[in-house]
């Protein structure tokens, strides 16, 4: 299936994909795109409304909002990718081991997952942040750990679903090593749900960071994270200078929207049961 056909079949997903491409491009090209330094304080330029020299206005430190939003894309991508990488890795280890070996291993690991899931996600985040302190790395770690349990369960179900696959039986019968079976047969087959999980997780991470920022646990200043811009000066100067919050807010929404749409489309495409519409109406 050519890409164009796919895109036409799933326009929302295509839109999402485009947004994400834009996000990644912005993140990568930030130094080239941003007209100003995002962290330099310029007290004479405070709180300027959008204009030609500052298309998105300036904040209370005189920093250019456009530049901060552009660099914010970097932070969001770092956050998202970092958190998802950690949580997917951990979840995959737990989920694959649990699903593949079953039995005792599964029971023990399941207890562990249940334990983690008994803690409301945000509680876990807050506790970890309180332990580690502020910092971009810590936020990534916290988001990664927080997202592990739920993903582990999903991956485990996916592994369970293919465990009965003939391929595996044959491989085991011929004395193939476990890890080779996992690497060769299990992993490629669960790649689909993993991809969906990762895509959706990216959106969740970005949103979670903004909530953490609101509570004071997010990325420390002067790092230009969208969440910090939205929840900090953005809220304080809501009435006087709404542009400080509006643009990062739009950025967050577009990014989350994009990831979710893309994830949805991926899920639809990769899950054979859900293709096509109800046929055969009378």
**Interacting residue ranges for another protein, rule: CB under 8 A:** 9, 11-12, 40-41, 43, 46-47, 60-62, 111-112, 114-115, 117-123, 126-127, 130-131, 133-134, 150, 203, 207, 210-211, 214-216, 220-222, 227, 230-231, 235-240, 245, 249, 252-254, 256-257, 260-261, 264, 267, 273-274, 277-278, 280-282
What radius of gyration do the chain's Cα atoms show? 22
Q: How far is the CB of 223 from another protein (least distance, A)?
A: 10
Q: Which is nearer to another protein, 110 or 187 (CB)?
A: 110
Q: How far is the CB of 202 from another protein (least distance, A)?
A: 12
Helix (H, G, I), strand (E, B) or coil at 58: strand
Q: Which is nearer to another protein, 82 or 224 (CB)?
A: 224
- In a 13 Å sphere around the CA of 56, the CA atoms on its Cβ side amount to 22
Q: How far is the CB of 10 from another protein (least distance, A)?
A: 8
Q: Which is nearer to another protein, 171 or 229 (CB)?
A: 229
197 and 214 Cβ atoms separated by less than 8 Å? no
Q: How far is the CB of 19 from another protein (least distance, A)?
A: 11
Q: Residues near 109 by Cβ (< 8 Å), separated by ≥ 6?
A: 94, 97, 98, 152
Q: Which is nearer to another protein, 119 or 167 (CB)?
A: 119
Q: What is the Cα–Cα distance from 19 to 25, expressed in whole angstroms?
A: 10
| b/e per residue 59-73 (b: at least 16 CB within 10 A) | bbbbbbbbbbbbbbb
- Give the position of tokens 């049961």: 273
- Give the position of tokens 């249940």: 114
Q: Which is nearer to another protein, 32 or 118 (CB)?
A: 118
Q: How far is the CB of 235 from another protein (least distance, A)?
A: 5
């Amino acid at each position: 299936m050519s890409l164009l056909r796919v895109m036409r079949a799933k326009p929302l997903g295509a839109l999402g994909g485009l947004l994400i491409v834009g996000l990644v491009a912005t993140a990568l090209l930030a130094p080239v795109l941003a007209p100003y330094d995002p962290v330099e304080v310029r007290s004479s330029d405070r709180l300027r409304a959008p204009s030609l020299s500052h298309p998105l206005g300036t904040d209370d430190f005189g920093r250019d909002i456009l530049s901060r939003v552009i660099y914010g894309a970097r932070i969001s991508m770092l956050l998202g990718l970092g958190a998802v990488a950690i949580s997917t890795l951990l979840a995959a280890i737990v989920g694959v081991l649990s699903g593949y070996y079953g039995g005792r291993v599964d029971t023990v690991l399941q207890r562990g997952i249940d334990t983690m899931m008994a803690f409301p996600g945000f509680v876990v985040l807050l506790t970890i942040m309180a332990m580690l302190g502020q910092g971009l790395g810590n936020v990534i770690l916290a988001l990664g750990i927080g997202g592990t349990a739920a993903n582990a369960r999903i991956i485990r179900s996916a592994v369970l679903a293919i465990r009965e696959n003939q391929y595996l039986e044959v491989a085991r019968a011929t004395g193939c090593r476990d890890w080779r079976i996992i690497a060769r047969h299990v992993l490629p087959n669960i790649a689909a749900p993993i991809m969906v999980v990762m895509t959706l997780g990216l959106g969740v991470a970005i949103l979670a960071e903004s909530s953490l920022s609101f509570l004071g646990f997010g990325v420390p200043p002067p790092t230009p994270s969208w969440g910090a811009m939205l929840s900090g000066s953005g809220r304080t100067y809501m009435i006087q200078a709404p542009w400080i919050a509006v643009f990062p807010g739009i950025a967050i929404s577009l990014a989350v929207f994009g990831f979710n749409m893309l994830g949805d489309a991926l899920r639809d495409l990769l899950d054979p049961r859900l293709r096509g519409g109800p046929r055969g109406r009378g």
